[in-house]
Chains A and B, each alone.
Chain A
């Protein structure tokens, strides 16, 4: 369906270029406030990249994997599992990353087991909050350094479905903190490598996901400003998820609303009309009330679309050329086909 928003968007080539630039990174860190559809966007990015022939690893950090049921994986874990053509999935928690780190450092499996069984070690890693982003960062940094049997890279792209923005801020802070804390030795060395990766805008792209509603947009702008000011990081893209399209041609809606003599019908107006209907049971009132319900539906969608239209310029002026929008699909359940629908829609609308 052609929406007003679609008609206004930049030319298709702009969108294609923006998506190609985004998927050319080696790592995409996908974050945003809870409930904005971070995981959905991460999944769509991973599907799009793998459909374009890239070898992709999707990484989740949640206790409950969101991608595994979609991709038909029964027991996802920290070791990448083949989920689809060109697409692997890894679901990791702090202890998984700790084991990975320890294996890299100690090299001997028995020693790793001994070390991780030790309560002091486990306690140290389990209780210090900053350890989580450190170990995760180390983990993805190392995956990138790993090479396949012929010396080629195992993955072209890592798409990381990260927890909320606090975690990401921690991640950008960590290399500096570690380098100040450990002035030499292995940790100092890792911190250097991790910091270089995060700062390299060509390799590592930050994707901020938001919704076309006032609060999420304001918070995205705040996060963007903080990351820029404190860490010199600019997002590679801002993805506005769930943008409504009109159900009714705006002119038709306006025309109809005027005819029913309710310029902006809302839920309350419907209630009022229904109350009148019940009170007088007059045919005209019934006509009005029933039409008001239909108009309410059209107006609800149009209202959401208008709000998106007024909010998007605030994002585009802060992150010019890198704001992508995804349509609202009118579903509460997102099966793989819906994710693929979004993956295809990426870049079709560039605000």
Chain B
């Protein structure tokens, strides 16, 4: 790769940003990269919290958060200190003051905590939490923990406990929902909606004229439609769900605006993590476009698992030279032919991947532009299961940085 940046913008981000968001499609090594960069910043003396959605067991092991029992996962939505391990396992020690905590985000328990913060009155809170609709869907919230997670992050960002939050976002098709989460929630539960629903008789209360009278009275079109879709007997529960939100609404809206501002603040930086492959590149482009459309600039790209091939094999290698060398080693005739052909084939295949990777990297540099950067992280064989390996990976990410170029 050509000229490295003076000062290395990624290193600057790691020492000065307050919130670092890593986005990307699934399976590109986003969670591992997040943990690695968090270790790096902590070693530099910052108080770091890394927030992940669904860490693999190996990564938990690397962070020292996984005991011997594989079914035992560390408690969610709680910061777990990694520091004792950090100091023990990192060559070169840790700059004074540096610390690392890790938190696993879980939306279903997070939802309860969120309502506890937003609804201090226990009876109001119970109304939301015990609603049949809400309870039915609470477990499935886990599939898309967007707004719960964002709310929690906002809470943490307000506190003074950490210098840097590193956020590993859910895979791509959720990442944009994730950023819009605050706004979506606010528009979901807006005043007009609440007004409609507040006309539905609540369970237990005596309906003045029943569901039919309520339709006849020319009430909300929405209720008529929802009644047709779900059956009118389910309406009171749906209505109660919305009504219970009435008091949460102003606070939710305030939060939505505040989290949005947090994501656009200059101390928040976005990285897009990707890996070689046409699909990953296309999705990285798409994500880049979407983030920009959302008014968020992307600091740079991290391309994981870039295949590195020894220079001797670039262009397929010199097979006649190979033949001579093997001949010197005592390989002859048909045996020699076979070995030469097979080695040449292996080199040719890997070289094909390497040139493809390097072409993709160049395309991303153009996308990053002069303001951005790209980091090519060499492929490594085997899983990461030690803290020192995470630190090595972080070094590889920082070392792999080159500037973007003018398209």
A interface vs B, CB < 8 Å?
33-36, 39, 61-64, 66, 101-102, 105-106, 111, 114-115, 118-121, 123-124, 126-130, 132-133, 163-164, 166-167, 169-170, 173-174, 177-178, 180-188, 213-215, 218-219, 247-249, 252, 256, 259-260, 266-267, 270, 274, 287, 289-298, 300-301, 303, 330-334
Contacts and interface: CB of A to CB of B under 8 A. Distances in A.
B282 interface: yes
A111 B228 CA distance: 11
A118 B234 CA distance: 19
Interface stretch (B37-45, B210-218, B317-325): B317-325
A322 B338 CA distance: 35
B58 A300 contact: no
Contacts of B208: none
Given A119-B193, A127-B184, A293-B317, A101 B220 contact: no
B352 A248 contact: no
Nearest to A132: B144
Given A215-B58, A333-B278, A34 B171 contact: yes
Nearest to B138: A130
Nearest to A299: B346
B187 A119 contact: yes
Interface string B229-247: 1111110011000000000
Interface in B313-331: 313, 317, 321-322, 325-326, 328-331
A274 B312 CA distance: 10
Residue of B279, B328, B382 with highest tally of chain A CB at under 10 A: B279
B233 A118 contact: no
B231 A164 contact: no
B229 A186 contact: yes
B190 A62 contact: no
A35 B345 CA distance: 26
Contacts, number: 231
B234 A39 contact: no
Given A252-B338, A332-B356, A334-B278, A290 B325 contact: yes
A167 B171 CA distance: 12
Given A35-B25, A297-B313, A297-B347, 18 more contacts: A63-B176, A121-B226, A127-B187, A129-B137, A180-B136, A182-B231, A186-B231, A187-B231, A247-B343, A248-B342, A252-B338, A291-B322, A292-B310, A293-B311, A296-B310, A297-B350, A303-B381, A333-B277
Looking at chain A's contact residues, the main secondary structure is helix
Interface string B22-36: 000111100000000
B57 interface: yes
Contacts of A133: 140, 143
Interface string B276-301: 11111011001000000000000000
B127 interface: no
15 contacts: A34-B28, A120-B196, A120-B197, A163-B171, A166-B143, A185-B232, A186-B230, A215-B56, A247-B346, A287-B325, A289-B312, A293-B312, A296-B310, A301-B349, A331-B356
A129 B353 contact: no
A182 B357 contact: no
